[in-house]
Chains A and B, each alone.
Chain A
Amino acid sequence: MAKTAEAPSATPAGTGAVLSSGKKPMGRRVKEFFVDFGRQWELQSMILPGVVFMFIFCYIPIYGLTIAFKSYTVIDTIDSAPWVGMDNFKIIMSDKYFWDSVVNTLGISFLKLAIGFVIPIILAIMIYEVSFGRFKKFVQTVSYLPHFLSWIVLGGMLITWFSTTGLFNQLLLSLGLISQPSNIMLDPNKYWWIATLSDIWKEAGWGTILYLAIMAKIDPTYYEAAKIDGASRLRQIWNITIPNMKMIISLNLILTVSGLLGSNLDQTLVLMNSQNREKAEVINSYVYRMGMTQGDFSYATAVGLGVSIVSVILLVTANKVTSKLNDNQSVL
């Protein structure tokens, strides 16, 4: 294992050292490589277990993606399954349930993007503007907390809050906004909003950390100068704080856009029920259902592979677009 993993790297690693001392014959470079390698056996013995790990747990599954082009059944191994070319992908194209899940994934993701992306920025600026230290700390502590709850816990909480006798209905009843309690978890038309808003509730505070860290580095003299010029607080935010965060906002945007299709599986599995399924099923939960519960491994893998490819395309496109906006500086 060690040897085979090493061999291809001999040339690239060797060239750097050799460039300055002129050209050496290939055989000598390879020999030098192994001499060095032997001298560094202690360091190599630290790295190689990691390399073996990555080979097994990351690269073998990447190889396993080939079953997307095969017809895999439980009696097969990945290698013995017969090739079927693009057949699985052809079936996907005419699969209504798949397209439903695409619509739901995109719908929920765009809602999360449209609302959930801006809220942490606004929230971070609001926290940054607080000058009362203790209150600031308190708000931060509280806002990070939901991030540490699992989706299972939060799912359980949501089901309790929205039950007919739960907090949500009690609040609305006491405010006189509704006359009859109802369980909105069972209403498919509300599901996108439940998924979006619960995700924002959980992650908005956490999302402020990076922004706050960047803002802490802004030179305070900018604000002093703006104040002397008579700029209002909102003006200062608009002309100093936000431009200083442009880079990190773009980076976050790229990462969010590239993750558009990877809607939260944990969230879906716990919030989905037989009533709201048609609006709740996302691509990932569909992969789970087709593969793990219905045993159609090849088909589920094909769906997953398609999603990964689209995600990479999104990542590259988002990076291109935002680098245009950032004066041609690539963020990634």
Chain B
Amino acid sequence: MNSKAAKGDWDSRIFDAINIALLVVFTLIIVVPLWNVLVSSFSSGRALAEGGFIFWPTELSLENYQAVFRDDGIWQAFFISVAKTLIGVITHVFFCAMVGYGLSKRYVRGRKFYVTMGVITMFFSGGMIPTYLLIKDLGMLNSFWVYIIPALLSFYDVIILMNFFRNVPDSLEESAKIDGGGDWRIFLSIFIPLSMPAMATIALFNGVGQWNDFMTTKLYITDQSLYPLQMMLYEIIVQSQTQSMQNAGSVVIETTTKGVQLATIVVTTLPIVVIYPILQRYFISGMMLGAVKE
């Protein structure tokens, strides 16, 4: 595909030049605002209030981060975020793999019924209020487990894993059966290790989802000690917005909360940005997992 352009072909060269120029503009539209947020978080409150910088602050300072980390709340929220993401991902992937493995065997009795039941859940749901009432009746309001248990299964992920398990050669399983291994044994000691790439992809998407999720907290949690970073940030944002509207003239309040808000944004996003390049390798091939194998 790289040889599409014949060398010396002027039309083609002009096309390339315009194409690359537009893509450079596109990358700048993404990079500049993100960079601006990052450097602004290292700006002093005074420089923030005056504005006027785009690429580099007029006054570098760590005061925003000091203010953020002085707050015990942020450490607690960070801990909750990490805990719910780690536990959530591991239990979700294992549970989906377990169900997916069972359903990958075409001879399983009741398979058609199970799959139909699952597919229906992909298109219909009770929606926000009936789900809230269920969570309430289950006594999971203000409980850490509301982050984990309702998120255990997603039928999309089950289908992806099911298709992946199908592609494992039958002979592996047969030899294990001859050695007397049961289904659980085969699943745990053969299929799980073989399916690491597929499971890593699902873990990645689920992990990002867990890390970024704040609706669960907003709906089911009022106890602040269970707030993850996203919810803390949300509260700061809402607070600063109402404040800035009430005290339209007061620059001081606006800038201190703005600085704290920026630092919290960076702290909240950092883990994703750090692991993103490592994970990027997986997710492109992972996107294709659900598709038909060649």
Contacts and interface: CB of A to CB of B under 8 A. Distances in A.
A62 interface: yes
B69 interface: no
Interface in A304-325: 304-305, 308, 312
B126 A164 contact: no
B109 to A, nearest CB: 5
B127 A33 contact: no
B51 A164 contact: yes
Contacts of A150: 211-214, 230, 268
B82 interface: no
B278 interface: no
Contacts, number: 302
B20 A312 contact: no
B67 interface: no
B102 A266 contact: no
B252 interface: no
Interface string A267-289: 00110011100000000100110
Given A49-B98, A51-B114, A292-B132, A57 B150 contact: yes
A40 B218 CA distance: 42
Contacts of A9: 109-110, 112-114
B268 to A, nearest CB: 6
Nearest to A62: B126
B272 A130 contact: no
Given A160-B258, A201-B30, A287-B129, A170 B237 contact: no
Interface stretch (B33-41, B71-79, B166-174, B195-203): B33-41
A171 B49 CA distance: 16
Contacts of A141: 277, 280
Contacts of A232: 11-12, 15
Contacts of A62: 124-126, 130
Interface in A148-205: 148-153, 155-157, 159-161, 163-167, 169-171, 174, 181, 186, 201, 205
B178 interface: no
A20 B211 CA distance: 52
Contacts of A269: 218, 234
B269 interface: yes
A269 B261 CA distance: 17
A248 B263 CA distance: 41
Contacts of A64: 126, 129-131, 133-134
Given A51-B114, A275-B245, A152 B230 contact: yes
Interface centre among A51, A61, A304, A312 (most CB of B within 10 A): A61
A42 interface: yes
B89 to A, nearest CB: 15
A92 B273 CA distance: 44
Contacts of A142: 27, 30-31
Contacts of A129: 4, 15-16, 19
Interface residues of B, number: 107
Contacts of A159: 237, 240-241, 261
A105 B65 CA distance: 38
B214 A152 contact: yes
B30 to A, nearest CB: 5
Nearest to A212: B284
A61 B131 contact: yes
A131 B5 contact: yes
A305 B101 contact: no
A213 interface: yes
Nearest to A33: B109
Contacts of B109: 9, 13, 33, 36-37, 40, 44
A89 interface: no
A44 B268 CA distance: 41
B121 A273 contact: no
A312 B277 CA distance: 38
B2 interface: yes
B19 A312 contact: no
Contacts of A301: 127, 129-130
Nearest to A155: B237
A87 interface: no
Interface string A37-53: 10010111111011101
A301 to B, nearest CB: 4
Interface string B252-285: 0010001001101100110011001100100010
Given A61-B134, A220-B1, A291-B128, 4 more contacts: A40-B183, A43-B105, A49-B95, A152-B212
Interface of B: 1-6, 11-12, 15-16, 19-20, 22-23, 26-27, 29-34, 36-37, 40, 48-54, 95, 98-99, 101-103, 105, 107-114, 117-118, 120-121, 123-134, 150, 152-153, 155, 158, 182-184, 187, 208, 211-215, 218-219, 230, 233-234, 236-237, 240-242, 244-245, 254, 258, 261-262, 264-265, 268-269, 272-273, 276-277, 280, 284, 287-288, 291
18 contacts: A8-B113, A12-B112, A37-B109, A43-B101, A50-B153, A50-B158, A53-B153, A78-B130, A152-B212, A152-B230, A152-B233, A156-B233, A186-B245, A201-B30, A213-B291, A220-B3, A227-B6, A233-B11
Shortest 7 CB-CB contacts between residues of A and residues of B:
A61-B126, A64-B130, A165-B51, A9-B113, A150-B212, A50-B99, A46-B102
